[in-house]
């Protein structure tokens, strides 16, 4: 990839029956309004669907400056609010097209509108989420889901797992990888030279000295000692119910929660609709919205595009920071 060309941001437009297409059109209009030729936005999805969606909003996509489309055809026509299993493979095809472009260097970052995991799985495609899909596609051993918003950054040691599977999925080695990726991501993607990370315990009261579980003693504390010896500023494990008190969390740049619903309810309470989901550990920046497909709002023009706007803005910042850190490599 050459650093002299304008960066390209690929926006996958999500579940075609959800709010993704209309939010993507809103993001394209906003992007074009401030476009100066220093970047390109590429909408990844069915061109006819996007044109129709844009027309309902009074927008002609093909006239927006520095906005392009990467056409991926629908299997069947999409109706707002009505899922079609036949379009499950279409959604995955949009993700593959974007991921291929990012890995080959023709795109600099991926921003994703929401998808519906259930309809993809119903189509016979095992799919647990964007995060896991991009990890598998890139062939990386580990990625970290980080959500940012409301003055908080919350990362997850485990992602989309049944609660009964979480303790077995948390290991010293795995936590060590997560902490390294989180530390490096905060430094490289967010520009924090010496990030401070607070780590939640798994059990109530962080195990209370082993009386409510030994995962803190046997797994988390040894992983933190190893991480600190490697130069990572990671403190804890802290009881999750008090860590998020503003005075307690304020000194830290990010919190590492042990499972999905331990950390994300707090962050979404503080920022829902304007938070950003980030995948750390990929060879390119990837950001996304903090909400789902909102089928009940689709096609009405009332869905709030704030989270997608924030996700695109953060991707732009990340790419700019990365380019500033690297010398130009020619034309």
Pick left, alpha or beta for residue 71 (phi over 0 → left; psi -120 to 50 → alpha; otherwise beta). beta
Question: Tens of pLDDT along 127-161?
Answer: 988 999 999 999 999 999 999 999 999 999 998 88
- Report the chain's terminal Cα–Cα distance, integer Å: 9
The conformation of residue 75, written as its DSSP 8-state character, comes to S
pLDDT at 329: 41
Structure tokens at 17: 């029956």
| pLDDT at site 3 | 56
Domain 1-140+283-331: which topology? Isopropylmalate Dehydrogenase (3.40.718)
CATH number of 142-281: 3.40.718.10
**Side by side, which strands form the sheet with 196-200?**
67-71, 40-45, 8-12, 109-112, 286-289, 276-280, 144-149, 152-156, 254-257, 196-200, 233-238
| Model confidence, pTM | 0.92
User: Distance between CA 83 and CA 178 in Å, rounded?
Assistant: 35
What digits encode the pLDDT tens for the residues 247-270? Answer: 999 999 999 999 999 999 999 998
Q: How far apart are CA 44 and CA 98, in angstroms?
A: 7
Quick one: pLDDT at residue 284? 97
pLDDT at site 160? 85
* Separation of alpha carbons 104 and 183, rounded Å: 26
SS3 (DSSP) at 254: strand
Is the separation of the CB atoms in 25 and 298 below 8 Å? Answer: no
Q: Which residues in the chain are classed under CATH 3.40.718.10?
A: 1-140+283-331, 142-281
> Residue 260: what pLDDT?
94
The residues, ordered by sequence, that sit 6+ positions from 285 with a Cβ below 8 Å of its Cβ are 108, 109, 110, 189, 278, 315, 318, 319, 322
286-to-79, 82, 251, 281, 309 alpha-carbon distances in Å: 28, 28, 26, 10, 14
**Would you state the pLDDT for residue 325?**
66
C-alpha distance from residue 16 to each of 44, 249, 252, 309 (Å): 11, 39, 39, 19
pLDDT at 4: 64
Segments of the chain with pLDDT less than 70: 1-4, 325-331
- Average pLDDT of every residue of the chain: 94
Token pair, residue 111, equals 């921003």
**C-alpha triplet 148, 154, 157: angle, nearest 5°:** 135
Distance CA 197, CA 225 (A): 13
pLDDT digits (tens, 9 = 90+) for 89-116: 999 999 999 999 999 999 999 999 999 9
Look at residue 72 and give its three-state secondary structure: coil
pLDDT number for residue 273: 81
């Amino acid at each position: 990839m050459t650093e002299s060309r304008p960066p390209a941001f690929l926006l996958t437009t999500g579940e075609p029956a959800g709010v993704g297409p209309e939010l993507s059109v809103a993001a394209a209009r906003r992007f074009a309004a401030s476009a100066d030729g220093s970047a390109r936005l590429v909408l990844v999805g069915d061109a006819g669907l996007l044109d129709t969606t844009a027309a309902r909003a009074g927008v002609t996509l093909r006239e927006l400056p520095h906005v392009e489309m990467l056409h991926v055809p629908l299997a069947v026509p999409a109706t707002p609010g009505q899922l079609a299993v036949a379009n499950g493979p279409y959604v995955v095809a949009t993700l593959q097209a974007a991921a291929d472009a990012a890995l080959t260097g023709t795109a600099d970052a991926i921003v994703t509108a929401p998808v519906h995991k259930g309809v993809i799985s119903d189509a016979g495609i095992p799919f647990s989420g964007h995060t896991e899909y991009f990890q598998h596609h890139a062939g990386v051993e580990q990625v970290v889901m980080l959500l940012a918003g409301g003055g908080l950054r919350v990362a997850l040691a485990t992602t989309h797992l049944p609660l009964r599977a979480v303790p077995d999925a948390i290991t010293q080695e795995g936590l060590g990888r997560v902490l390294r990726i989180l530390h490096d991501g905060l430094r490289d993607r967010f520009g924090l030279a010496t990030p401070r990370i607070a780590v939640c315990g798994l059990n109530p009261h962080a195990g209370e000295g082993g009386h409510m579980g030994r995962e803190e003693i046997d797994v988390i504390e040894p992983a933190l000692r190893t991480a600190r010896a490697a130069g990572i500023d990671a403190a804890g494990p802290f009881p999750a119910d008090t860590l998020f008190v503003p005075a307690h969390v304020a000194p830290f740049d990010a919190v590492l929660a042990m499972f999905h619903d331990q950390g994300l309810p707090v962050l979404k309470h503080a920022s829902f609709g304007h938070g950003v989901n980030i995948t750390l550990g990929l060879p390119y920046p990837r950001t996304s919205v903090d909400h789902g497909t909102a089928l009940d709002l689709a096609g009405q023009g009332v869905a709030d595009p704030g989270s997608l706007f924030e996700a695109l803005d953060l991707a732009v910042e990340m790419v700019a920071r990365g380019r500033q850190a690297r010398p130009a490599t020619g034309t």
